[in-house]
A = this chain, B = another copy of it.
Amino acid sequence: MILLTIRVVAKNQVKPEKIQEFMDLCKNLVEESLKEEGCIEYGVYQELENSEILTMLEEWKDKSSLDEHLNSNHFKEMFPLLSECLEKETEINVYGKKL
């Protein structure tokens, strides 16, 4: 049986002067998200060739776990604060495994 989890790639272009603030804000979000029942993975990753690209790589048990996350207090509180650190809107892709 293949476990059909959901993978999220949320790619952020962060303002250079806001990288530290963005990372500080993410610490709490990562901690709280990892506590969620449906969260398999939640990490923040930096592009090796462009330090301003900071991307969440996430894995959720299923679509409803992701929806719960997006409705959680920790996400809804943090999202506007994180958005203020960005050059442009987050590029979000939600994936299901094919191969």
Contact = CB atoms under 8 A, between A and B. Distances in A.
A98 B9 contact: no
A30 B94 contact: no
Interface stretch (A45-53, A69-77, A79-87): A45-53
Given A9-B9, A9-B55, A57-B7, A96 B44 contact: no
Copies of this protein in the assembly total 2
Contacts of A57: 7, 9, 57, 95
B98 A54 contact: yes
Contact of A47 (B43, B48, B49, B94): B94
Given A9-B55, A45-B98, 4 more contacts: A6-B48, A27-B99, A47-B93, A49-B94
